[in-house]
Structure 1
Amino acid sequence: MKDYVIITESTADLSQDMVNDLGIKVMPMAFELNGRSYFHYPDTREMDIHEFYQRLKKGEKSVTSLINTEAFIEFFEPVLEAGNDILYIAFSSGLSGTYNSSLLAKEELLEKYKDSKIICIDSKAASAGEGLLVYSAVKKKEEGLNLLELSSWLDQNILKLCHWFTVDDLNHLKRGGRVSALSAGIGTALNVKPILHVDNEGHLIPMEKVRGRKKSLYALLDHMIDTCSPVKDQVVFIGHGDTLEDAEFLAQLIREKFEVKDIIINPIGPVIGTHSGPGTIALFFFGTER
């Protein structure tokens, strides 16, 4: 049986060191900042993440775009030419058209590489939630799962991957159409922090509001307490929008409550950060349900 390569995009918010350790391939995704185009790579070669958030704080505007079919073909084809199959774990189809582009590329490539397999998985996840799914997939591959077995495992576990997050500034969600302009204005004035999650279709859903930053971090912990399973020996991911201190505070709360195997903290990159903004804290773990 052929070996297979696990591929994802930079929206998984994995560091370059993690990418190297996991042995995966990561497609860069594009964003524009004040009209200039950049690609976000795990090594942040084109834009430092801290610089990106500082520029957002100064009022610069960022927009994002999906990966098109041609880019997928260009990225996938060398892997197939080398004799490998592909397991591609995609950014949520509920938040981007990237997954659909990958399906078109798959169809075209398999006409040429008839003996190859390409499996495209809709993670229904975002940011380090997608990253945690990729990380878990690599660990399952290391346990000996073949391509079809791992694809089946992913299908069975995607909807157990929990996303809970809070943002510091509602105006970034307003621009993305997630909250109304009135709610954003009132929320910012009253220091109201929304708690959001990603549902079973991979859509972003506001769930509740709390007042104050510290309460929002405790609210994330409360949701983990409610749904985390198994409660021991999990690897938990935390993403942050250039607010490492808050991420470390949340990590300490988790360690005090759970016997986790590890907590991995990574910054949220520019593609996700365009929509979530500076100060975002996101918590990802496996649970009984989303």
Structure 2
Amino acid sequence: MRIAILDDYQRVALASADWTALDAAEVTPFHAHIADTADLVAELRPFDVIVAMRERTPFTAERIRLLPGLRLLVTTGMANASIDLAAADAAGVTVCGTRGSAGATPELTWALILALVRHVPEEDRRIRAGGWQQTVGFGLRGRTLGVVGLGTIGRRVAAVGLAFGMEVLGWSQNLSPAVAAEAGVSPVGKDELFAVSDVITVHYKLSERSAGLIGARELGLMKPTAFLVNTSRGPIVDEDALLASLHAGAIAGAALDVYDEEPLPGGHPLRVAPRTVLTPHVGYVTDDGYRAFYGDAVEDIAAFAAGRPVRVLGTGPR
């Protein structure tokens, strides 16, 4: 069995699980992202198993068609919007998922919020250059946190906001008042959340319905002293509208871990946008998360080889 591990940016995939449990398997990690379809297919054609890290490398119908030897595609996590499951099914490719670390993204969310409102990157750069304090931090106690999407991650983020002494508001298209009450969150309309919140954090599943969910209108409702944080998916926030708001000083700042195009191109305007904190989609990137991802990937491959696939996402052969 020939196994390809894609987008092993940190070169830790082999050390994060016991790949020797897969008898006689040849495991090859790819450390650099391969964006071009022709280049990707040329590299992957010899492999019958591919392990994909989240949505870093999309598997479209075209790419699956161009990999006729592919038998098993493992994605880290139990959902991957960048894999065409119907195309995989039609090609006889089994798609399996893995567990992960539920606490990783909420932790990064709060790292970004605190870095943003307390100007941590700016003051870090200044002190390294020989300077001293110049900014005034934005205190959180008594302020209002707006959580867009109150699923598992949103509720964990809300709990920290409550611990900081913030009033926490929540909105989603189908938010249950009972779920909000259980989380200690006040359910409000979308416009109210954007108009009154001091910090707005996005935890929404990307779909055709949620793409562009936060655009010029929503950003225009925000107070000029308010901050926006997105650790969910890039297309949920209109990048052009966000850039316009930042350059106009219409909002106080933004912290982003996700983008429309990833990796973010070198010359992208967000890289030089004012009042921003940027991280390279590391919300799920933790040591325990990687051990869960790759450990389960090994289990998935072993189970498939034994004819008893587990954690199947597609409807290919079992």
TM-score (ref. length: structure 2)? 0.29
Q: Which of the two has greater helix per residue? A: 1
Q: Which of the two has greater strand per residue? A: 1
Q: Higher Cα Rg: structure 1 or 2?
A: 2
TM-score (ref. length: structure 1)? 0.31
